[in-house]
C-alpha cells in the first residue's frame, strides 16, 4: 500500500513539473537579442519588517536622490552593469528594447554588438529573462 502511495506522489510531482514547464514555455519564446549599450546603473535594496524589496534599475544620481527621499528604513544603494537589448518581440513582431541587469542574461561580461539568446514573453513586449 505504501509503495502505491509513494508511486502516486512521484507521478503527481512529475505531472506537475511537466505542466509547469509546458505553461512556462508556452508564454515565452527564445529569441536572439543584440546588446545596444552597457552602462553602470544603480538600484536600491530596502529592508523593512524582515522583507526585502528591490527598486528598478535607474541612473545612479536618481537612485541616490530616491534613497534620500525614502522613509527611514534599512536601505542600500547597489551598483550593477545594465545592458540595453534590442530584439524582435514574439508578442507583436515589432522591434523592442529592454534594459536588464547584465547578470540576469549572461554569466560573462558583455559588450556592445554582442548577440545573446534570451526568453521573451509572447504576450507582452519588453519583458525578457535568461534562458
Task: Report pLDDT digits (tens) over 76-101.
Answer: 888 889 999 999 988 888 899 988 88
pLDDT, mean of residues 99-111: 87
What are the beta bridge partners of residue 41? 80
* pLDDT of 22 over the 70 cut: no
CA gyration radius for the chain? 20
Domain that holds residue 120: 2-129
Q: Is 103 exposed, middle or buried (0-12, 13-18, 19+ CB in 10 A)?
A: exposed
- Write down the residue that cell numbers 552593469 correspond to: 81
Please state the domain count of the chain: 1
The pTM assigned to this predicted structure is 0.64
Reading the block at residue 12, the C-alpha cell is 503527481
- Per DSSP, helices labelled H in 42-97 are 60-69
**At 84, which helix (H) or strand (E)?**
strand 74-88
Could you tell me which residues come within 8 angstroms of residue 78 by beta carbon, excluding any fewer than 6 positions away? 42, 43, 44, 45
Amino acid at each position: 500500500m505504501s509503495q502505491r502511495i509513494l508511486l502516486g506522489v512521484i507521478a503527481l510531482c512529475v505531472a506537475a513539473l511537466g505542466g509547469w514547464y509546458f505553461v512556462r514555455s508556452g508564454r515565452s519564446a527564445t529569441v536572439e537579442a543584440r546588446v545596444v549599450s552597457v552602462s553602470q546603473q544603480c538600484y536600491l535594496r530596502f529592508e523593512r519588517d524582515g522583507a526585502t524589496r528591490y527598486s528598478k534599475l535607474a541612473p545612479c544620481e536618481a537612485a541616490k536622490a530616491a534613497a534620500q527621499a525614502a522613509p527611514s528604513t534599512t536601505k542600500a544603494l547597489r551598483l550593477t552593469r545594465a545592458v540595453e537589448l534590442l530584439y524582435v518581440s514574439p508578442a507583436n513582431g515589432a522591434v523592442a528594447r529592454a534594459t536588464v541587469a547584465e547578470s540576469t542574461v549572461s554569466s560573462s561580461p558583455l559588450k556592445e554588438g554582442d548577440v545573446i539568446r534570451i526568453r521573451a514573453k509572447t504576450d507582452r513586449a519588453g519583458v525578457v529573462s535568461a534562458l
